[in-house]
Chains A and B, each alone.
Chain A
């Protein structure tokens, strides 16, 4: 009997192929193989949002003849800078839906797949943060691309030093991607029922929280608390949500079956 089982043992233990880190990073690389998903499409979206913003700025100042400084203030509420984040949610959903079965077929574990994929999201979000910070710097230096337009210096970004602004971009991008991916793991494990249940649970939790806050007349205190933690704190919460979604996705995907 030992003569039979022995070679199996040795074979199973022997390979120095069990390099966990390498197993994770190859999944990360897998997510970047097709440059259209994480490079060109986001670039096209942000490019289009930039172009539209510039054209609007030109119309306002040159055609309508409004005061550039007044327009600058108005445009600082523009959501153009957020336009690619909607796409990122779709990327998060799609990444898991279309690459999990392939990765499992060529011998990845779900664990390595999830860690590698979320690492890809983190790398990507860091890149987006750097690019946005760079574009904002150019925008400020060139006086709104020579047109007083505001694209990247808008919303909360306008009030923050570049490194804090980059941190908020990173947090938002990562959260959107990981939440999208985690929802897909629910779909793969429990199909539509899983997604609907999670969706309803989140909505119910939010409603209960709103009711409780109203009931306790805690709105002023809550608003004061948010003001106290500031943008940094708010995006710390966003990062925390990303972390929770990441942990949840990890637990769910370990028993998920691709279809």
Chain B
């Protein structure tokens, strides 16, 4: 073990680390990411697509003929005109919000001087940060990676995306610094600054949720998003529910064998946070649809999305409420509730994104829905299954979380309970 800048760094046998069970899980998941990246790159940059000029410029070309055939009978490219945002955005939202939610809850608990959270804060923060990085990986794959430098060469600072950019530049280093402060607990001056850092990080958290909401609110055409009442609040509440569930599952997986009594106490504490968050989310969902644009409310509550919506409510609110209402001694109920919440809230994000696109913009004349292409029937609700590459990237993003957490933990023992 070596000591650098107040932090103890473990000397790690790389072979043991790289060949550990957790890392094998990470490799398996990252393999999905690799397949996804190759698929997306092939589809985006190597698949032949023809323009009206090509046939004239290269008459008789086999490649042009293939590309023309693809244009008419193919899937119509990677992005559908009527549903531009899909699973990438769902995963980005989920990872970023849940990661931020964990960081928010930990920072808040530290300010309130909750000892159990303070002991485990480094691990929670590392997990939260890993989720944020996984979210950023997902969104990067959604963009035209070869043009990303244009964000800096030709910036328009008032756009929603640009509001996010400087925030991440402050936010990620700030959280890393916070982890450093926790790990370097021997220095007394660090503790004094910690309060300031915590207040600052809470402020940045608030701003982050506000800006995320602003990003959706700027899409004036998608009224599901623009009519959600207090979108910032919704993002915060729904994030806290999933964040608390992830924290509960993490606590069980990390501390179940090392420190049983503290594990039980910590799970009981998080159970309360989860329960209150679930109640808040339930209360929000019960009232929000009174304000949401009736076209969207109708298809989500009573139309094509109803099964998904009620499944989301059951998994994210109903079942966890029943399982967590009493602090039962057996951890199995809490684990079950966590899994339901994690899956349920992911479904909730899918409904939010896909639902926003679902009511087609194609009724522009108000006299009925229009055909989008010659080869499709008129549709009242737009829903496309995401391509395989997109699904693989989303699955692969979990590998990033496992990899980052495991490597950080191996060197810095972030999961170790610390005495303050």
Partners in one complex: no
Binding site for A on B (CB under 8 A): none
Interface residues of A (CB under 8 A from B): none
